[in-house]
Structure 1
């Protein structure tokens, strides 16, 4: 049985979601798959510093996070970043020796630093696929010892090529998500109340507090809106919103406030629009559902870059000031052709065969390695 090791870490939940979706499909195709949180297992200090630091900066001082993202997105400063992680490689190396995988997949850029360093020193000779879970590429992904790159689309592929990566090893298969997002629940569509414009409001796994400001604006809108709010793991935000709105009767509004839920796919089937921060996985799930996106908040760094790509592709609207949310909502309600045009643009860039293509590439890399040996 062919064995695959998927390396991930918990800076947000997108990398873990990609890893778990891959594992599920690989298992269904007869692979033996392990997912491994390499930071959590290799260095308690680094894991705590990076995961908690990311959550703190992203939610509290996003400008500082954006600054750090920018200064490390360069070859020379990124070398210093890589050196920090090379010092954690021994435990991962021993884990790889014991696991004996035929292929390694990384869903986080920091895995690239360690695996490619082991390959550079000839300590391992195992094919390595790096999956880029955003629509642009940070320099920490760049390394000539990576065997294959999976990008969100052709544009991301060209960006990698411009940074010196051989086009032949870049595959624009799309960010891997749970295949359920490419299905439509027809029964939900049949019960949809056409009187209401259906909005899904979310802020990623962290459930950013900015959601409350957006909701406050939406409540003011005079149109009939059905609003589903997903607060993710932010229990404080969920409690705050329930306390504020659960006992109120709001004219022309149907409001549903949820915490973490596994029903995002079916909720999306009911919606006309997603309002969210543009994390790579959330965006890809929305695109899979052919759902236009409105972006009122984005963490500086990869999410600002994602926003730039999505707005240029005509799949999303960026709202710079939350107070302008309602004028944009009204524009979409009064001009359904705009929504339809955005859906047409989405159909041009979504990648429904992402995981199947990644599985096929993985088999090919493993077979090529076995043939050489």
Structure 2
């Protein structure tokens, strides 16, 4: 049985969810799949992740400065290069002899795999799957055989960073099959499951706005919840992830629908009418697959803003830039033409395009054929 090795990272949940979705697809096609958390292979990986979390939570201005600086850089900085070199042997050791491809759903893993491939130390093809809609230069590395982009705008950004257009393909986004558009009956059942029905069992008189801040519950979630409630258009349903402090504050403030970590996000999304988010990564794709229109509001700095710009440009998620715009945008998304357009655009995006697993299989077959021809020629 041929094997594909996927390198992700437990930085939030987006990189891992993409890796799992790809692993499910490849397994269904008969591949054996190994998954590795790159942070366990890189020296001080956990410390790096912890520092990132503290900075993005408590010092967003500093994170924006770091992000902007690295966005302009042609390659990783000195400290990053040293950490990545320290991960090279562990990454090689994680790729067994029967592997036919290595995949990265995390940019630092892409750097190591690509450079190993370029140096001739890795014989199998390297595939990089973007988990953001915008492309930071850290995703781009020499030696990568194929980049899979969720949208044409993303692919264009990769090319603008110097990637050969022949090595970039727009592929169906990696979303679990558990996320799917449901019926009105499913929505009612989902609302009952999460206690979102009215006091007498009636439906809420306002649309339900699912508010997410990722698995860490980062960003201006509390103020966003207040703004949503004050808009008078929606009732906020807030998911705080593993941020227990935020969950406690919101409950103490009297918000009726506040959750911590939610294991059944497909059902919660099915219960809601619109999603408001601040980062634009995996949860946005999941909302598209569920048929929810999406708004970006009070976006995170760095990748949050660059993702918001791409989503807005692509017509997939409106970027609400001020509190004054919020009520009108929510009305348009829950009862207007914009909501229907975004609903259709999101479903078309996650339901169409080339299958990422099929593209990986084509790459493996192509390179295997080239190797066979070369062997015959010799």
Fold conserved (TM > 0.5)?
Answer: yes
Corresponding residue for 1:346?
346
Please give the alpha-carbon distance, in whole angstroms, between the structure 2 residues aligned to 1:26 and 1:144. 25
Please give the alpha-carbon distance, in whole angstroms, between the structure 1 residues aligned to 2:141 and 2:323. 39
Kindly indicate whether the alpha-carbon contact (under 8 Å) linking 1:2 and 1:31 is maintained by their aligned counterparts in 2: yes
Does structure 1 residue 172 correspond to structure 2 residue 170? yes
Please give the alpha-carbon distance, in whole angstroms, between the structure 2 residues aligned to 1:285 and 1:14. 11
Kindly indicate whether the alpha-carbon contact (under 8 Å) linking 2:211 and 2:236 is maintained by their aligned counterparts in 1: yes
Displacement, 1:185?
5.0
Corresponding residue for 1:241?
250
Corresponding residue for 1:94?
93
1:178-217 matches, cutoff 5 A: 178-185=176-183, 187-189=185-187, 193=203, 195-208=205-218, 210-217=220-227
Which 5+ residue runs of structure 1 have no aligned equivalent? 247-254
Kindly indicate whether the alpha-carbon contact (under 8 Å) linking 1:3 and 1:102 is maintained by their aligned counterparts in 2: yes
Alpha-carbon displacement from aligned partner over 1:106-142 (angstroms, at most 9, x marks no partner): 0001012211222222112101100111111111122
Partner of 1:10, secondary structure, is coil
Partner of 1:269, secondary structure, is helix
Kindly indicate whether the alpha-carbon contact (under 8 Å) linking 2:238 and 2:259 is maintained by their aligned counterparts in 1: yes
> Which has the larger displacement, 179-188 or 102-111?
179-188
Which 5+ residue runs of structure 2 have no aligned equivalent? 192-202, 373-378
Distance 1:316 1:279, change over 3 A: closer
Distance 1:2 1:214, change over 3 A: same
Distance 1:76 1:170, change over 3 A: closer
Does structure 1 residue 370 correspond to structure 2 residue 368? yes
Q: 1:108 aligns with which of 98, 106, 109?
A: 106
Corresponding residue for 2:12?
12
Does structure 1 residue 272 correspond to structure 2 residue 273? yes
Displacement, 1:51?
0.8
Kindly indicate whether the alpha-carbon contact (under 8 Å) linking 1:11 and 1:50 is maintained by their aligned counterparts in 2: no
TM-score, length-normalised on structure 2?
0.86
Partner of 2:20, secondary structure, is helix
Distance 1:262 1:369, change over 3 A: same
Corresponding residue for 2:359?
361
TM-score, length-normalised on structure 1?
0.87
Q: 1:74 aligns with which of 56, 72, 75?
A: 72
Does structure 1 residue 300 correspond to structure 2 residue 301? yes
1:14-53 matches, cutoff 5 A: 14-43=14-43, 45=44, 47-53=45-51
Corresponding residue for 1:252?
none
Partner of 1:260, secondary structure, is coil
Please give the alpha-carbon distance, in whole angstroms, between the structure 1 residues aligned to 2:301 and 2:232. 32
Displacement, 1:100?
4.0
Displacement, 1:4?
0.7
Q: 1:219 aligns with which of 229, 233, 236?
A: 229
Please give the alpha-carbon distance, in whole angstroms, between the structure 2 residues aligned to 1:24 and 1:206. 25
Displacement, 1:240?
2.4
Partner of 2:236, secondary structure, is strand
Alpha-carbon displacement from aligned partner over 1:52-102 (angstroms, at most 9, x marks no partner): 112111111112112112211234453633354123212222222x46421
Q: 2:161 aligns with which of 151, 159, 163?
A: 163
Displacement, 1:353?
4.9
Please give the alpha-carbon distance, in whole angstroms, between the structure 2 residues aligned to 1:306 and 1:65. 15
Displacement, 1:318?
2.6
Please give the alpha-carbon distance, in whole angstroms, between the structure 2 residues aligned to 1:205 and 1:353. 27
Partner of 1:5, secondary structure, is strand
Displacement, 1:342?
3.0
Equivalenced residues, count: 358
Please give the alpha-carbon distance, in whole angstroms, between the structure 2 residues aligned to 1:165 and 1:329. 38
Alpha-carbon displacement from aligned partner over 1:342-361 (angstroms, at most 9, x marks no partner): 3344355x13257x711112
Kindly indicate whether the alpha-carbon contact (under 8 Å) linking 1:275 and 1:293 is maintained by their aligned counterparts in 2: yes
Corresponding residue for 1:130?
128
Kindly indicate whether the alpha-carbon contact (under 8 Å) linking 2:231 and 2:326 is maintained by their aligned counterparts in 1: no
Distance 1:199 1:58, change over 3 A: same
Distance 1:324 1:154, change over 3 A: closer
Kindly indicate whether the alpha-carbon contact (under 8 Å) linking 1:202 and 1:275 is maintained by their aligned counterparts in 2: yes
Q: How much is the aligned-residue C-alpha RMSD, in angstroms?
A: 2.5
> Which has the larger displacement, 75-84 or 235-244?
75-84
Please give the alpha-carbon distance, in whole angstroms, between the structure 2 residues aligned to 1:76 and 1:345. 34
